[in-house]
Amino acid sequence: MDMITLSEAQKKSRRGRNIALGLVLFGLVAAFYVVTLVKFSNGMAN
């Protein structure tokens, strides 16, 4: 099977994009978790 060999620059930029995407996804999960807590606590308070 033919394989593409990434250059160092391509590897570096892909790693950077993956880390950024990972951080964004983690941030979204954390944000939805806290939003759920806030919504539930407001609902219970009401």
Partner 1 sequence: MTIIDHHEANGPEAAVRLSEASARDFFELLKPRVMSLVVFTALAGMVLAPGHIHPFIGFIAILCIAVGAGASGALNMWYDADIDAVMTRTASRPIPAGKIRPEEALAFGLTLSAFSVCILGVVVNWLSAGLLAFTIFFYAVVYTMWLKRSTPQNIVIGGAAGAFPPMIGWACVTSGVAIESIVLFLITFLWTPSHFWALALFKMRDYGAVGVPMLPNVSGEATTKNQIVIYAVLTAIIGVVPTTLGFSSAVYGAFAAALGVGFIWYSVGVWRMPEGDEKMLPAKKLFAFSILYLFAIFSALMIDHLVATLWLTTGGAA
Residues of this chain that interact with partner 1 (CB under 8 A) are 2-7, 9-10, 13-14, 16-17, 19-20, 31, 34-35, 38, 42
To partner 1, the closest distance from the beta carbon of 26 in angstroms equals 14
Place of tokens 């308070």: 45
To partner 1, the closest distance from the beta carbon of 7 in angstroms equals 5
To partner 1, the closest distance from the beta carbon of 4 in angstroms equals 5
DSSP per-residue codes, 1-46: ---PPPPHHHHHHHHHHHHHHHHHHHHHHHHHHHHHHHHHHHHHH-
